[in-house]
Structure 1
Amino acid sequence: MNTAVYDAIVIGGGQSGLAAAYYLQQEKLNFVILEKNPVNLGSWAHYYDSLTLFSPAEYSTLPGLDFPGGADRYPHRDEVVAYLKSYAAHFQFPINYEAEVLNVEKNDGIYSIQTAKNEVFRTRSIICSSGSFTNPNIPKITGMNDYTGLIMHSKDYKNDLAFRNKRVIVVGGGNSAVQIAVELANTADVTIATIRPLKFVPQLYLGKDLHYWLTRTGLDNNQSLEEKRLLMKSIDGVIDDGFYQNAIAQNKPNHKKMFKAFTQIGVIWDDNSHEEVDAVILATGYKPNFDYLNNLSVLDKSGNPLQENGINQSSENIYFIGLPWQTSFSSATIRGSGVDAEIVVQDLVKHL
């Protein structure tokens, strides 16, 4: 067993974990990052091939090191992967790879973290930035178990190769659902199915990206619960420069109300019509992924952290970074990770 007792351990080495590491290093604390992947940091390398950020490079940086290249361009997935690796190398953060955390216990004020390799790490505080990518939300749909076609979550989608000339339904109304459906519509017969009407949020206002206005107006700063609710309503939708909305207007893909049920070979639509379908891709988001904290009183019954601004609302020195709308719209994005990490580390230091 590792006998060292760290000031802090960061669980997850993606964008949020690295942002936390930056501020822990600035405070000269003794810490280590536990990253479950063998090489890559976080989940970016596992996303679909064509993914691009919906924020420009200028607004896609972690603290202390700018994203390389032109400020106004929208970086590709592989550029983000490379940036995270270079960021970790630049600051020489201590990272333990292939260290998947299974359980956390507390004894005499010290947390013991057990990994899948049966390693044990001890620490005075924990920052949880493990994300939710490995815990997809799979909705329960009538007839799902009887369907003989392909059902997959968007986390497992890479490209259109397996779907060419197939009949495909993409379920979901968010950015990933629309991007995947539009991509597939180039080579397949595709419908995007949603419970509510699709909503598009303009990516550009007066020639400037949405993220520019959020920072200039201060709406991107730490917000009250009511302010967050209001902003969530106003910009809840697919962030789009017009490309995706135009594609759907041209039925590439077409858009229909969510189907009622699966049949053995397809689906039953809202108008009771039956259709054969080759595959259904569920772009239905993710659920909390903090099961390793089940022995501590820091989660609600649904597994969501009991936190405010990433700070646990009990006596435990447990923190969270990377939660959607943790402090603002930019939370859970690369840029927002730095803002939230600073808030969390400032509080962590007070309680060591």
Structure 2
Amino acid sequence: METNINVKKNLDVETIIIGGGQAGLSVGYGLAKAGRSFMILDANKRIGDAWRNRWDSLKLFTPVYLNGLDGMPFPGKRHIFITKDEMADYLEKYSEKFKLPVITNTRVDRLYENEQGFEVEAGNQTFKAKKVVIAMSNYQKPKVPEFVKYINPEITQLHSKDYRNPSQLRDGSVLIVGAGNSGADIALELANERQTYLSGRDVGHVPFRIESVIARYLLIRLVRFVGHHILTIRTGIGRKIRPRVLITGGPLVRVKPCDLIAAGVERVPRVIGAKQGLPLLDDNRTLKVQNIIWSTGFTPGFSWIDLPIFESTQEPEHVRGVVIKKPGLFFVGLNFLYSMTSDTITGTRRDAKYIVRQILNS
């Protein structure tokens, strides 16, 4: 179901929330409870499409009891792992239940200041607001190496963001570049039917099966407690690991190295370039493959924010989501915004509550 509301050009509103995923809806819920004027802009056709548009077999790493937003627990058995489509449908129903003012099919092209506050341009529409919440993750623009243009055009190339299922690939072998969670999950799926190579450093792995009884009822709670309450910007250890987490991401959660070996996935050295149209490995070998999936991460993709708030790393300067240099501007959904869990649903929910309090008190 597509959600939309009628709008007029140059519409003024107290707060604009950019992004209609779990972060934006959580902020919207808090502002709605407080009776404040706001609007949520989302580029997707339907609420939840950021989940729907990921690969078909994806399941969340967290059980049901950790996946609900304020005011509406996720339905069903508490300790099962849901699909990405179930999460997407839940977000759509959440928006409908609380009648949140979401405008879909509205991609923001520019955010800038005016004398009264901020202006947001989206196509032929312009919105004005005193406050803006950018409710989006750091993972907006797919990142691939420069040398992809030298790969033989007969080799199918996809970024993991665009991968859905094996039917998108040519017959024959596949090289997956990037051995994080996405790369490992996709490699395990593809190894069932074709020769699969996986290139990338070992990122480590969670030392237990998340689907096991002890994990679902105990270990996940312990890990969440550490990530949620100890690995934060308020603790020494949290501040120490934060820069590394922002660059390298986390360990493998569901897939283990032994799973990849058992499935016949062949680990190969780092891909450093292209030679005669083929991917070139760090040991000077080339791989003759018919497909390449680039699971090489993302850049923040915030070039549409026309404000001087960014560090050299393209990360916005903020303190727990509050942009000190630009009063009235906030972020929710960023990786390690406050804690190791900030890009999870439970972490996003807590960060959103904090930002709502800042808006109400400003």
With structure 1 as the length reference, what TM-score do the two structures score?
A: 0.90
Deviation at 1:113, TM superposition (A): 1.0
Write the letter of the residue equivalent to 1:237: P
Q: Which residue of 2 aligns with 1:123?
A: 129
Q: Which residue of 2 aligns with 1:300?
A: 311
Matched, 1:145 2:150: yes
Provide closer, same or farther for how the CA distance between residues 215 and 279 of structure 1 changes in structure 2, counting only shifts above 3 A: closer
Contact kept? 1:101, 1:113, Cα under 8 Å: yes
Contact kept? 1:164, 1:187, Cα under 8 Å: no
Contact kept? 2:156, 2:170, Cα under 8 Å: no
Partner-residue secondary structure (3-state), 2:299: coil
Structure 2: gaps spanning 5 or more residues:
1-7
Deviation at 1:159, TM superposition (A): 0.4
Deviation at 1:251, TM superposition (A): 5.2
- RMSD, aligned CA: 2.4
Contact kept? 1:201, 1:239, Cα under 8 Å: yes
Q: Which residue of 1 aligns with 2:278?
A: 266
Distance 1:3 1:265 in 2: 50
Q: Which residue of 1 aligns with 2:287?
A: 275
Distance 1:48 1:206 in 2: 27
Deviation at 1:162, TM superposition (A): 3.1
Distance 1:327 1:132 in 2: 14
Distance 2:304 2:282 in 1: 40
Distance 2:355 2:325 in 1: 14
Give the fraction of aligned pairs with identical amino acids, expressed as a percent: 26
Deviation at 1:237, TM superposition (A): 0.8
Instruction: Select which of 344, 353, 360 maps to 1:333.
Output: 344
What are the superposed Cα offsets for residues 59-100 of structure 1, whole Å, 9 maximum, x if unpaired? 112122111111111110110111010110111101111111
Write the letter of the residue equivalent to 2:294: L
With structure 2 as the length reference, what TM-score do the two structures score?
A: 0.87
Aligned length in residues: 345
Contact kept? 1:130, 1:289, Cα under 8 Å: no
Distance 1:67 1:327 in 2: 24
Distance 2:28 2:84 in 1: 22
Instruction: Select which of 331, 335, 359 maps to 1:320.
Output: 331
Provide closer, same or farther for how the CA distance between residues 297 and 214 of structure 1 changes in structure 2, counting only shifts above 3 A: same
Deviation at 1:50, TM superposition (A): 0.4
Instruction: Select which of 38, 59, 65 maps to 2:66.
Output: 59
Matched, 1:199 2:211: no
Write the letter of the residue equivalent to 2:283: D
Contact kept? 1:4, 1:121, Cα under 8 Å: yes
Provide closer, same or farther for how the CA distance between residues 269 and 173 of structure 1 changes in structure 2, counting only shifts above 3 A: same
Write the letter of the residue equivalent to 1:8: T
What are the superposed Cα offsets for residues 108-162 of structure 1, whole Å, 9 maximum, x if unpaired? 232111102x111111100001335541111234x74243322221001000123
Distance 1:121 1:52 in 2: 36
Instruction: Output aligned runs, 1:1-352, within 5 Å.
Output: 2=9, 4-116=11-123, 118-141=124-147, 144-148=149-153, 149-163=155-169, 165-194=171-200, 196-203=201-208, 204=210, 207-209=214-216, 210-216=219-225, 219-220=228-229, 222-224=232-234, 226-229=236-239, 236-240=250-254, 243-250=255-262, 252-294=264-306, 296-351=307-362
Partner-residue secondary structure (3-state), 2:60: coil
Write the letter of the residue equivalent to 2:262: Q
Distance 2:228 2:108 in 1: 35
Partner-residue secondary structure (3-state), 1:274: coil
Write the letter of the residue equivalent to 1:236: G
Write the letter of the residue equivalent to 2:45: P
Partner-residue secondary structure (3-state), 1:281: strand
Partner-residue secondary structure (3-state), 1:238: coil
Provide closer, same or farther for how the CA distance between residues 58 and 230 of structure 1 changes in structure 2, counting only shifts above 3 A: farther
Deviation at 1:211, TM superposition (A): 3.6
